[in-house]
Amino acid sequence: MKRHFEEFCLNTYAHGFKYLTLNNISLLERRTWSIIITLFLAVSFYCSFLTWFEAFEKQTVTVPDTPNYPISNFFFPAVTICNFNVISKSRALKTSKNLSKNKTQNFSPKEIETKLHLLKYLTDVHYSPLHQNDLNKLHVVLENNKIEASSLLKYLSPTCTEMMQRCTWKGQHMDCGVLFKSIVTPYGVCCSFNYFGFKENVKNFTKDITAIETLKRVSATGYLTSLETVVNTLSEDYFATIVPSIGHKIIVHFPYDFPDRNSQMLLQYIQGLILVSVNPSLYRTDVNVNSLDINLRKCAFMGEKQLDYFAYTYHNCMSECRAHLIKDFCGCVPFYYLQFYENLSKYTYVIYIIFRKFYCYSVGVKLNNQSVVRVFFDDLVSTRYTTSLQHYWHTILGRIGGVLGLLIGFSTTSLIEILYFFVIRPIIDILFQYRIIFLYVKGSYK
């Protein structure tokens, strides 16, 4: 083996190895070259392993693809409007009178009215223990009348027809009852535009193209070609509110995302104009990423994961997981999660909010208890990002080969030389020796 090592050092193209076996150099020089070669071998192999593990630690990279992606390819964001007042005063008074007629209970209309005020805590679980006695009495009233608290709150909540005074979509006045629909959220019963979060709204989402086409889009920019609504505050109808103010919560979110407390939100005040400028971004993935395991690419494609109640998005996955955890830990769920237990391409939105106080609306509507909300795209184009593999096999090979070649002059030929001098040649020598022994024994026998 020593002979093969000397032959390798004298014939290899790797840097410095020949100085280990030359006869015309001193022992000090030979030892110096041994230290240099050992050092560079250690550094090169360390850098090679570092490159290898780095390639497998983060296998994808996201970079801007184009800054001129048309907004007509984006879904218009969902807009959910929630009144600070979760219970209509007129309905609460009417309901308290009807419930007091039940002779099996000893509560006056005024007492029941006070108890109905506590229904607001269905949307906010942080209530004082001082209310527990009144909550027990409310429970008795509802039990005697065979009424579910969640159904009663839905009935008592302000309706979309009452809240929306006028709606305009793409410059045309439309029926607000058609554009907005009532949904249950952590903020109570709200009115939502262009929301398709539940599976029942979009069945077989990955295959049903017609379902995707029902989502609203725009091809122009500016508030005159998007959504505008005059919102009635109904301040005279306030009965129970979590927020000690008068107004609405405006939630702008992806059409398939459930509008919970993690959504982007802003507060709307009376006699004001809110301009919500939306800058959408599209994140797409290269086809080569499909081959990676889901734990490595850290994202899921359409059809890979299914939720119980929502169309799959990361936001909805977190909401549904939160609901399951609450149910498993507490044995019950908040009011806005009851709907779960009764029975895409990814977009993100960056929102810029502009507040402007005014009293005379531009088309002649005088604002008293109303406010105006305008939601629109701020540009005709936006940015598309692409997620692709950060390292391919040839790039990893090139980086490792570059390090080895730079430090010690190793190449593919060097690997062949190592294989030849330390594997093939010893095997040939062993076979040759056995051949000689065989011939010698055979000659002696004869």
Q: Which among 370, 389, 408 is the end of a domain?
A: 389
Same domain flag for 73 and 188: yes
Tell me the whole-structure pTM to 2 decimals: 0.72
Closest CA to 403 of 50, 36, 6: 50
Residue 137 within any structural domain of the chain: no
Same domain flag for 419 and 362: no
pLDDT surpasses 70 at 236: yes
Tens-place pLDDT, residues 34-43: 888 888 888 8
Domain range for 11: 2-58+393-445
> What is the number of other CB atoms lying within 10 angstroms of the CB of residue 441?
9
Distances (CA, A) of 148 to 108, 133, 208: 20, 19, 36
Same domain flag for 265 and 307: yes
Same domain flag for 201 and 255: yes
Residue 285 within any structural domain of the chain: yes
> What is the number of other CB atoms lying within 10 angstroms of the CB of residue 74?
21
Tens-place pLDDT, residues 78-92: 999 999 999 899 998
Same domain flag for 186 and 294: yes
What pLDDT, on a 0 to 100 scale, did the predictor assign at position 191?
93
Tens-place pLDDT, residues 326-371: 888 877 777 777 666 654 334 343 434 343 343 334 444 566 778 8
Same domain flag for 410 and 384: no
Residue 288 within any structural domain of the chain: yes
Same domain flag for 264 and 170: yes
Q: Which among 341, 364, 389 is the end of a domain?
A: 389
How many domains in the chain?
Answer: 2
Residue 87 within any structural domain of the chain: no
Residue with the larger pLDDT of the pair 434 and 156: 156
Same domain flag for 360 and 408: no
The amino acid that residue 217 corresponds to is R
Residue 363 within any structural domain of the chain: yes
Residues 347, 283: contact at Cβ < 8 Å? Answer: yes
Q: Domain holding 298: CATH number? A: 2.60.470.10
pLDDT surpasses 50 at 208: no
Same domain flag for 225 and 351: yes
The amino acid that residue 340 corresponds to is F
Same domain flag for 282 and 343: yes
Interatomic CA distance for residues 153 and 218, integer angstroms: 35
Residue 117 within any structural domain of the chain: no
Same domain flag for 374 and 441: no
Residue 46 within any structural domain of the chain: yes
